Amino acid sequence: MISEIRRVIGGYTHTALETTRQLLLRTLSRLIASLESPSDVIHRYGHMTLQTAAIRIGIDLGVFRLLTQAQAEGRGAVSVDGIVERNPGAGGLVLNRILRYLASIDAITQVSPTRYAANQRTRHLADKTVEAGLAHFLNTVAPQYEALPAWLAQNNYQPPADETHTAFQAAWNTHLDAFAWFAEHADHLAYFNDYMALRRQRAHDATWLSVFPVARYVRGWNPDVDRGVKESAGRKQKAVYVNVGGGIGHQCREFRERYPDVTGEVVLQDLPHSIANALETPGVVNMEFDFFEEQPVKDAKFYYMRGILHDHSPARGRVILEHTRDAMGPESILLVDEMILPETGVSQMAAAIDLTMLAALGGQERTEAQWRETLAEAGLELVETYMYAPLLYEGVMVVRRGRGVEC
Ligand SMILES: C[S@@+](CC[C@H](N)C(=O)[O-])C[C@H]1O[C@@H](n2cnc3c(N)ncnc32)[C@H](O)[C@@H]1O
């Protein structure tokens, strides 16, 4: 194992840096597992939720920001009293016990019995994207994980039929699906939206637009509505880009800014609560739309969905796909931007997202073979795939109406 790590570190050059970093993390994780005793295993898993609780306390008290700021200003370590000062009335003794625990899990560094300093993990925990992600996971997702074992046992480990029969309903004691529930829980919706927006800005520079040849696909395409074209919500021009379930419109803005000269409308579609908060971007039409209903924008060049189909059970996903297929004209293309999992060796993060989809919405991540099957069931055909973040398995699939499906 040690020689394996040496080999990996040997490959830690500036080229393929991220691949090597991930390989190193995976190898070290295996090394830790190989060294653990039964008692270590009890405490690893038994205290896992304590770790997240302590991180949440640290965020609530502003510990990570405070230590990071002190370091950035050259003030070094911060005393427990300094943290009490920021949280008037907080008891120093309890606080020091929490800080000591945070140091034991390397979230901060203890430099004396009552003084603490930031380390790399502390700085990450002070980052607003990380805070937004943790607010979403700890406040909204964690109760679903807790409910999952009992829910699966009660349902004989069968996939949920739809998004109103999942661990989410058990966790939150509701009959609503997660998105309808969000509409009634503004604080949880804000954590989710912040995380989605910031995560995408931060995760990597690449998006589908960095690999997909938009110009090549729109060459010769005419957006003017002519006779014989399907009625398209009374519009004079066809849409060039319809972002179905596009959140509050970051991607529509990106498309419009990147392709100001591409003619045709850019349309953002989402539920009313997202459209109410949507960005106002010149050249982008914000439209309330429920994707389980008939698609009102017909014959667009690109129908685009990112992170939509993985949110839903296969049966519900098929409804979304069929409505899109029915709106597509001969020149239309559906772009499905999702993870495309390898058949084996899926990363922990991707496997966790898959189970999170199961718990929250009855959704799932898919391999390429599973995508082909899902699309074929809705009369669609996967033509080609452009990977833009291969390490995260993220890519955009180019999909056309299947042969024999009439427009
Ligand atoms: C996982 S988010 C993805 C958002 C966006 N596509 C992105 O990649 O950033 C799912 C989106 O689908 C929207 N959504 C959920 N149910 C919907 C429905 N029935 N009709 C339209 N949009 C819906 C949500 O409001 C949310 O914005």
* Residue type (1 letter), 189: L
Are residues 302 and 256 in contact, defined by beta-carbon separation less than 8 angstroms? no
**Rounded mean pLDDT of 255-277?**
94
Instruction: Indicate which residues carry an active-site annotation.
Output: 310
Name the residue of 181, 241, 289, 291 to mutate for ligand 1: max ligand atoms within 8 A of Cβ: 291
Would you report the helix, strand and coil content of the chain in percent, each value rounded to 5? 50, 15, 35
Can you tell me which residue has the tokens 């729109």? 218
Q: Residue 383 Cα, ligand 1 centroid: separation in angstroms?
A: 24
* pLDDT reading at 7 higher than 90: no
**Separation of alpha carbons 26 and 20, rounded Å:** 10
Which DSSP string corresponds to 141-176?
IHHHHHHHHHHHHHTTTPPPSSTTSSHHHHHHT-SS
Name the residue at shortest CA distance from atom 27 of ligand 1. Answer: 247
Q: What is the pLDDT of residue 403?
A: 73
More confident residue, 403 or 290: 290
Q: Which residue from 242, 293, 311 has its CB within 8 A of the most atoms of ligand 1, so it is best to mutate?
A: 311
Residues near 102 by beta carbon (within 8 Å), at least 6 away in sequence: 54, 55, 58, 63, 108, 116
Give nearest CA residue, ligand 1 atom 15: 179
- The pairing of strands 239-244 and 115-117 is unpaired
Whether the CB-CB separation of 364 and 357 falls below 8 Å is answered with yes
Give me the residue spans of the domains in the chain: 1-35, 39-125, 128-201, 204-344+362-401
Mean pLDDT of 95-116: 98
Closest-CA residue, ligand 1 atom 18, reads 290
Angle between helices 48-60 and 63-72 (to 10 degrees): 60
pTM as predicted = 0.85
Q: Which residues contact 20 (CB under 8 A, 6 or more apart)?
A: 8, 11, 12, 13
Residues 64, 59: Cα–Cα separation, whole Å: 7
Q: Decide which of 203 and 184 is more confident.
A: 184
pLDDT at 16 over 70: no
**Where is pLDDT greater, at 5 or 62?**
62
Q: What does DSSP say about strands 380-389 and 239-244: parallel, antiparallel, or unpaired?
A: unpaired
- What integer best gives the mean pLDDT of the chain? 91
Q: Which atom of ligand 1 is nearest to the CA of 291?
A: 20
Residues with CB under 6 A from ligand 1: 179, 196, 200, 245-247, 270-271, 274, 289-292, 306-308, 311
| Spatial contact of 361 and 163, defined as CB atoms under 8 Å apart | yes
The CATH number of 204-344+362-401 is 3.40.50.150
pLDDT single digits (tens) 348-376: 999 999 999 999 999 999 999 999 999 99
Q: Which CATH code is given to the segment(s) 39-125? A: 1.10.10.10
HEC readout, 103-134: HHCCCCEEEECCEEECCHHHHHHCCHHHHHHH
Across-strand partners of 387?
395
Ligand 1 centre and the CA of 270: distance in Å? 6
Q: Model confidence over 141-155: pLDDT tens digits?
A: 999 999 999 999 999
Is the backbone of residue 346 left (phi > 0), alpha (psi -120 to 50) or beta?
Answer: beta
Count of C-beta atoms within a 10 Å radius of residue 215: 10
Query: How far from 251 is each of 62, 241, 307, CA to CA, in Å?
Result: 32, 10, 12
| Nearest in space to 343 (alpha carbons), one of 364, 365, 367 | 367
CB 325 within 8 A of CB 125: no
Beta bridge mates, 395: 338, 387
- The angle formed by the CA atoms of residues 205, 280 and 204, to the nearest 5 degrees, is 10
Site to probe by mutation for ligand 1, drawn from 129, 163, 177, 179 as the one with most ligand atoms within 8 Å of Cβ, is 179
CB 278 within 8 A of CB 307: no
Position 390 scores a pLDDT of 87
| For the chain, percent of residues with pLDDT exceeding 70 | 91
- Asked if residue 125 has pLDDT above 70, the reply is yes
Q: What's the pLDDT at 193?
A: 83
* For residue 392, pLDDT beyond 70: yes
Q: Which residue has the tokens 């899902």?
A: 374
pLDDT at 15 over 50: no
**Going by DSSP bridges, is the β-strand pair 284-288/394-401 parallel, antiparallel, or unpaired?**
unpaired
**Average pLDDT value for residue range 154-178:** 95
Q: Give the pLDDT confidence score for residue 229 in this predicted structure.
A: 45
Q: 228: pLDDT confidence band, cut at 50, 70 and 90?
A: very low
Note whether 39-125 and 204-344+362-401 share their fold. Answer: no
Residue 390 DSSP class: G
pLDDT at residue 270, rounded to an integer: 97
List all residues 6 or more positions away from 380 whose beta carbon is below 8 Å from its beta carbon: 321, 325, 334, 399, 400, 401, 402, 405
Q: Is the pLDDT of residue 115 over 80?
A: yes
Which band of pLDDT confidence, cut at 50, 70 and 90, is reported for residue 2? low
Question: Which atom number of ligand 1 is nearest to the Cα of residue 274?
Answer: 25
Single-letter amino acid code for the residue at 338? E
| Residue 250 Cα: closest atom of ligand 1 | 9
Could you tell me what percent of the chain has a pLDDT over 90? 78
